[in-house]
Amino acid sequence: MRIELTLAVPAEYFFNSLVESALYDIETCTGQQLSVPRLKSYHYRKMMPNGRLAHYHITACSQDKHYSYEMRSGNRIWTVDYTLVDDGSGSRLVYKEDMHSRSQRSQSNDRVAGWVFGWMRKRRFKKMAHAIEAEYAKQLRAANLN
Protein backbone atom coordinates (compact mmCIF):
# COMPACT_ATOMS: atom_id res chain seq x y z
CA MET A 1 0.00 0.00 0.00
CA ARG A 2 1.26 3.46 -0.88
CA ILE A 3 -0.30 6.77 0.15
CA GLU A 4 0.88 10.24 -0.83
CA LEU A 5 -0.52 13.26 1.01
CA THR A 6 0.16 16.98 0.99
CA LEU A 7 -0.25 18.33 4.50
CA ALA A 8 -0.40 21.87 5.85
CA VAL A 9 2.11 21.02 8.55
CA PRO A 10 5.92 21.28 8.56
CA ALA A 11 7.79 18.00 8.08
CA GLU A 12 9.50 18.58 11.44
CA TYR A 13 6.17 18.67 13.30
CA PHE A 14 4.81 15.55 11.60
CA PHE A 15 8.08 13.68 12.11
CA ASN A 16 8.16 14.61 15.80
CA SER A 17 4.58 13.33 16.23
CA LEU A 18 5.57 9.99 14.70
CA VAL A 19 8.73 9.66 16.74
CA GLU A 20 7.05 10.70 20.01
CA SER A 21 4.62 7.84 19.49
CA ALA A 22 7.49 5.39 18.84
CA LEU A 23 9.44 6.62 21.86
CA TYR A 24 6.38 6.25 24.09
CA ASP A 25 5.81 2.73 22.75
CA ILE A 26 9.42 1.78 23.46
CA GLU A 27 9.32 3.21 26.97
CA THR A 28 6.05 1.40 27.70
CA CYS A 29 7.40 -1.93 26.41
CA THR A 30 10.99 -1.79 27.65
CA GLY A 31 11.16 0.88 30.34
CA GLN A 32 13.96 2.58 28.38
CA GLN A 33 13.90 6.28 27.57
CA LEU A 34 15.60 6.82 24.22
CA SER A 35 16.45 9.87 22.15
CA VAL A 36 15.83 10.23 18.41
CA PRO A 37 19.47 9.58 17.41
CA ARG A 38 19.40 6.22 19.23
CA LEU A 39 16.29 4.97 17.40
CA LYS A 40 17.97 3.77 14.21
CA SER A 41 18.62 0.00 14.36
CA TYR A 42 16.82 -0.29 17.70
CA HIS A 43 15.02 -3.60 18.39
CA TYR A 44 12.28 -4.27 20.92
CA ARG A 45 9.38 -6.62 21.59
CA LYS A 46 5.77 -5.73 22.20
CA MET A 47 2.78 -7.78 23.27
CA MET A 48 -0.02 -7.10 20.81
CA PRO A 49 -3.72 -6.81 21.79
CA ASN A 50 -4.37 -10.24 20.23
CA GLY A 51 -1.85 -11.81 22.63
CA ARG A 52 0.90 -12.34 20.05
CA LEU A 53 4.43 -11.13 20.55
CA ALA A 54 5.72 -8.71 17.90
CA HIS A 55 9.37 -7.94 17.23
CA TYR A 56 10.07 -4.39 16.08
CA HIS A 57 13.23 -3.23 14.33
CA ILE A 58 13.56 0.46 13.48
CA THR A 59 15.38 0.43 10.16
CA ALA A 60 15.72 4.18 9.47
CA CYS A 61 15.36 7.40 11.39
CA SER A 62 16.60 10.60 9.73
CA GLN A 63 15.51 13.75 11.55
CA ASP A 64 12.45 15.36 9.91
CA LYS A 65 12.81 13.25 6.73
CA HIS A 66 12.49 9.53 7.09
CA TYR A 67 11.27 6.93 9.57
CA SER A 68 10.78 3.24 8.89
CA TYR A 69 10.45 0.01 10.80
CA GLU A 70 9.89 -3.67 10.35
CA MET A 71 7.55 -5.69 12.55
CA ARG A 72 7.57 -9.47 12.71
CA SER A 73 4.72 -11.34 14.33
CA GLY A 74 3.90 -14.97 13.85
CA ASN A 75 4.15 -15.84 10.19
CA ARG A 76 4.09 -12.25 8.89
CA ILE A 77 6.51 -9.38 8.35
CA TRP A 78 5.27 -5.80 7.98
CA THR A 79 7.51 -3.08 6.56
CA VAL A 80 6.38 0.52 7.16
CA ASP A 81 8.09 3.58 5.70
CA TYR A 82 7.37 7.31 6.16
CA THR A 83 9.19 9.80 3.91
CA LEU A 84 8.64 13.53 4.45
CA VAL A 85 9.60 16.43 2.21
CA ASP A 86 9.17 19.98 3.50
CA ASP A 87 7.92 22.25 0.72
CA GLY A 88 7.93 25.54 2.62
CA SER A 89 4.21 25.94 3.22
CA GLY A 90 3.70 22.39 4.44
CA SER A 91 5.00 18.95 3.66
CA ARG A 92 4.54 16.02 1.36
CA LEU A 93 4.21 12.63 3.01
CA VAL A 94 4.80 9.32 1.27
CA TYR A 95 3.68 6.34 3.33
CA LYS A 96 4.46 2.79 2.25
CA GLU A 97 3.29 -0.36 3.96
CA ASP A 98 4.08 -3.87 2.84
CA MET A 99 3.24 -7.25 4.34
CA HIS A 100 4.87 -10.56 3.54
CA SER A 101 4.02 -14.00 4.84
CA ARG A 102 6.38 -16.91 5.11
CA SER A 103 3.92 -19.48 3.78
CA GLN A 104 2.13 -19.64 0.44
CA ARG A 105 -1.24 -20.18 2.12
CA SER A 106 -0.84 -17.13 4.34
CA GLN A 107 0.19 -15.03 1.34
CA SER A 108 -3.03 -16.00 -0.44
CA ASN A 109 -5.12 -15.13 2.61
CA ASP A 110 -3.26 -11.83 2.98
CA ARG A 111 -3.98 -10.85 -0.63
CA VAL A 112 -7.70 -11.39 -0.15
CA ALA A 113 -7.73 -9.60 3.22
CA GLY A 114 -5.62 -6.76 1.75
CA TRP A 115 -8.08 -6.29 -1.06
CA VAL A 116 -11.08 -6.35 1.27
CA PHE A 117 -9.66 -4.27 4.13
CA GLY A 118 -7.10 -2.13 2.29
CA TRP A 119 -9.48 0.79 1.89
CA MET A 120 -10.12 0.74 5.67
CA ARG A 121 -6.40 0.89 6.46
CA LYS A 122 -5.94 3.76 3.98
CA ARG A 123 -8.87 5.62 5.48
CA ARG A 124 -7.57 5.11 9.03
CA PHE A 125 -4.07 6.28 8.02
CA LYS A 126 -5.38 9.42 6.31
CA LYS A 127 -7.53 10.17 9.35
CA MET A 128 -4.45 9.91 11.61
CA ALA A 129 -2.38 12.17 9.32
CA HIS A 130 -5.15 14.79 9.17
CA ALA A 131 -5.54 14.63 12.97
CA ILE A 132 -1.85 15.57 13.31
CA GLU A 133 -2.44 18.37 10.81
CA ALA A 134 -5.47 19.62 12.78
CA GLU A 135 -3.51 19.58 16.06
CA TYR A 136 -0.78 21.66 14.43
CA ALA A 137 -3.37 24.19 13.18
CA LYS A 138 -4.90 24.34 16.66
CA GLN A 139 -1.51 25.05 18.25
CA LEU A 140 -0.76 27.67 15.59
CA ARG A 141 -4.07 29.46 16.29
CA ALA A 142 -3.43 29.38 20.04
CA ALA A 143 0.06 30.84 19.55
CA ASN A 144 -1.34 33.62 17.32
CA LEU A 145 -3.92 34.57 19.98
CA ASN A 146 -1.18 35.14 22.55
Blockwise average pLDDT, block size 10, the chain, 146 residues: 94 95 95 94 94 96 96 92 92 93 72 72 94 94 83
* Domains in the chain, number: 1
Q: Which of 130, 119, 115 is nearest to 7 (CA)?
A: 130
- pTM for this predicted structure: 0.88
5 within 8 A of 93, measured Cβ to Cβ? yes
Q: Domain containing 98 — which CATH number?
A: 3.30.530.20
Give the other-Cβ count within 10 Å of 91's Cβ: 22
Q: How far apart are the first and last CA of the chain?
A: 42
Residue 117, domain extent: 2-145
**Residues whose CB falls within 8 Å of the CB of residue 63, separated by 6 or more in sequence, listed in order:** 15, 36
Strands 53-62 and 91-101 come out as unpaired
pLDDT at 120: 87
pLDDT at 61: 96
pLDDT at 54: 96
pLDDT at 102: 76
